[in-house]
Amino acid sequence: MTERFTLKNTKIWLAAGAAALGLAVAAPAALAGNFTDKAVSFDGVNLNINDDEDLLQTLIDMDAEDIADLREEMADARADIKDAIGDVEEARREAKEDPKTAGFVDIAFAAASASVESSTRGVFDNVYAALDRAESNLDAGKVEVSDAEFEETSEAIAVIREELAGVEAALDELLAAMKSS
C-alpha cells in the first residue's frame, strides 16, 4: 500500500513540477520587455501604443541614452529567453530518462507554449502597427521637429523595430523548443 501511495505521489509531483517548469519558462518570455496590449515599457520610458500623439511625443523625447537603455533591456530579454530555451532542453533530456515523466513535460510545455504564443503575438502586431503610425505621422509633418529630432526619432523607431524583431525571433526559438518532443 505504501509503495502505491508513493508512486502515485511521485506521479503527481512530476506532473506539478513539469507544469511549474513550463510556466516558469513561459513567464519571462511573455513578459520580456514589459509588453502589454497598451504599452511597451523599459527603464522608465513608457510607449503608449494606444495613443498615437503620446507615442510620437515619447519617441521624439527619446535621446541616445534612452535608445541605448532600450537596446540593453531588449538584450537582457533575449538572454532570459535563451536561458529559458536551455531550461527546456535540459528538462527534455531529463524527461527522456523516465518515459512516464516525458508525457507530463510534453503536456506542460504544450500548455506553456500556447500561453506564450497567445499572450505575445497580438502585442507584437499592435506595437509594429503603432510604430508604423508614428513614423507616418512624423514623415507627414504632423508635429514640428528639427532635422536633428527627426533623425533621432526615426532612429528610435528603427531601433525599437529591430530590437522587437530580435525578441520575437528569440520567442520563436523558445516556442520551437517547447513544441519539440
Predicted confidence (pLDDT) per residue in 78-122, tens digit:
898 888 888 888 888 887 887 777 777 788 888 888 877 877 777
Phi-psi region of 37 (alpha: psi -120 to 50; beta: other; left: phi over 0): alpha
Report the first-to-last Cα separation within the chain, whole angstroms. 34
Q: What is the pLDDT of residues 27-77, one digit of tens each?
A: 555 444 455 556 666 666 667 777 778 888 888 988 888 888 888 888 888
Phi, psi for residue 49 in degrees, rounded to 5: -80, -5
User: Residue 169 corresponds to which cell in the numbers above?
Assistant: 525571433
